[in-house]
Amino acid sequence: MRKIMKKVAAIGAAAALAATAVISVSAARLENENIIVRTSTNRMDMFSAKGGNLLYSFISRNGDTADATSRPYVSVNESMSVPDFYDDVVDPANLTLTGTSKVYGIDVVRTIRIIGNNTNGAMDTAEFSLTLTNNTDTSKNVGGKFFLDTMVEGNDHAPFRVAGVGAISTKTQFEGDAIPASFQAFDSLQSPKTIGTGTFAAGAGKPDVVQFRNFGDSNYPLVPEIDTSEEIGDSAVNVIWLERELAPGETRVLTTYYGLGYIDVSEGSELKLGATKIDGSFTISEDGNSYNPVRLTSYVSNTGNSELSGVGMYLDLPEGVTVTGSSSGVAYPSLKVGEEKQQTWTLEAAPSPVERTVTVTINAQSTETGKGEPIIYTYVIPAINGAEPIVEPTTAEPTTAEPTTAEPTTVEATTAAPATVQPTTAATKDEATKSEATKSEANGTVKTGEAFPAIAVLITLVAGVGAVYFYRRKYSN
């Protein structure tokens, strides 16, 4: 029914425009080689420049105006409004579209800007911003939200994958620190043609609430109630900033991001491995002595005809890069036909005095399929002055038995006591047949020779002593 009402609203809007040519409707179009963003008074839509929808629209991508359902809201002292923006200004050189409005005494500037994404820098992401300024004489409580009616290709029920959570199909709400880093919307989870990716501002501009829910019940109030047992259906996202006090002359900026996304998929097996970067490379943090962590999401799905067992995903990490909050591997006892598992990894890098380019390898395996084709991502780690050098592992031949070969005179592994044996006293092959007593003599610090000459000397001494004793007895009498 809600889907029908959406279409009825479109027909009504078209009829009203046809009947009243004198009505002025603001329309603007911002585009580059990757995405198209259009506005019409208070509505927005978005397309991939190659053809598919990213946000719902009643009018094809070839039109000059949006007739859509996505829009911003402003809330002032618990009163909600959808601002109307007239005379939008497009700046093609800077890829920005700007409109102005006023709501309950709050000056509103809506800015849409095409920017580079966090993954590879491609200019395929729209930054949606509301700048709210209190130009009245009294303080007001001011908040707002962006309502994004996701539609990918022709799928108005576009399913979501949420970083750190996985695929979701029921209404879901996140608050505060639990808000994920990003989400993706697909025309199909199994065989996506087009992918929409949304990310959320961090720091002071971070939203307070994010909802993944149905288009039809997402409008009022600022934070609509949500029943997490209900299916999403006609999918949409609410990105919400709660009201806070805005003093006279004070400004608040609300920003979120949505655009094209990417997934790398390893083909050729019933166990399909997919991955996507959330952040492209390490950046130096504000303290100048460390890096902001980077995140990536990987998933495995069983696209075969039988259940898989012993399924796992794991990372091969370069020296100086570690996983935080979890181990570098996850295991699943089994994966049913059509089932999918997802893992979001947070990577941290040790400070480096020189710029480094490193690779992170994502692997997947199961008992039945073995190890599949990995996905490899490259990251740049910038230099930090004064950092300790990263000690790389030795690059000896893979067949080397011992990774630490500091001294060439290291005693062979077959030597019984490597700590005490001197190279000049190594046992010979004949000594292997000696008695235990003889072995203990041979292991001394000095080696005196064979036993027979020593016995002869001893007999001679005894004979000499005996002769003297006999002589003295004989001639003393």
Torsion angle in degrees (nearest 10) through CA of 261, 53, 55, 196: -10
274 and 254 assigned to the same domain: no
Residue with tokens 């800015």, as numbered in its chain = 111
Do 105 and 218 sit in the same domain of this protein? yes
By three-state DSSP, how is residue 40 classified? Answer: strand
Do 110 and 232 lie in one domain? The reply is: yes
What CATH number did the domain enclosing 349 receive?
2.60.40.10
Other C-beta atoms lying within 10 Å of the C-beta of residue 364: 26
For residue range 415-461, list pLDDT tens digits in order: 333 333 333 333 333 333 333 333 333 333 333 333 444 444 344 44
53 found inside a domain: yes
How far is it, in rounded angstroms, from Cα 10 to Cα 40?
13
* Residue 130 maps to a domain: yes
DSSP annotation of 93 reads T
Examine the domain organization and report whether 269 and 255 are in the same domain.
Answer: no
Q: Is the same domain home to 254 and 305?
A: no
* CATH number assigned to the domain comprising residue 203: 2.70.98.40
| Domain total in the chain | 2
Parent domain of 355? 265-381
Q: Which two tokens stand for residue 120?
A: 């590879």
pLDDT (tens, 9 = 90+) of the chain, 477 residues, equals 444 445 444 444 333 333 323 333 468 999 999 999 999 999 999 999 988 999 999 998 888 888 999 999 999 999 999 999 988 999 999 999 999 999 999 999 999 999 999 888 899 999 999 999 999 999 999 999 999 999 999 899 999 999 888 889 999 999 999 999 899 998 877 677 889 999 998 877 899 999 999 999 888 899 999 999 999 999 999 999 999 999 999 999 999 999 999 888 887 789 999 999 988 889 999 999 999 999 999 999 998 999 999 999 999 999 999 999 778 999 999 999 989 899 999 999 999 999 999 999 999 999 999 999 999 999 999 999 988 888 776 655 544 444 444 343 333 333 333 333 333 333 333 333 333 333 333 333 333 333 444 444 344 444 444 443 444 433 444
Same domain, 279 and 252: no
Last residue of a domain, one of 229, 261, 293: 261
In a domain, 249, yes or no: yes
First and final CA of the chain: distance in angstroms?
Answer: 145
**Considering only CA atoms, which of 257, 279, 260, 274 is closest in space to residue 195?**
260
Query: 410 lies in a domain?
Result: no
Residue 2 in any domain: the answer is no
Task: Verify that 286 and 356 share a domain, yes or no.
Answer: yes
Mind giving me the DSSP string for 179-240?
A: S-SEEEEES-SSS-SSEEEEEE--GGG--SEEEEEEGGG-SSSSS----TTSB--SEEEEEE
- Assess whether 165 and 270 both reside in one domain: no
Same domain, 271 and 255: no
In a domain, 422, yes or no: no
| Dist. CA 56–CA 152, nearest whole Å | 8
Q: Is residue 323 part of a domain?
A: yes
Per residue in 5-23, pLDDT tens? 454 444 443 333 333 233 3
Same domain flag for 200 and 334: no
Decide which of 366, 381, 396 is a domain's last residue: 381
Residues 158 and 221 in one domain: yes
Domain termination site, one of 236, 261, 286: 261
| DSSP one-letter code for 19 | H
* 350 shares its domain with 208: no
Examine residue 214 and state whether it is found in any structural domain, yes or no. Answer: yes
Q: What DSSP designation does 334 have? A: E
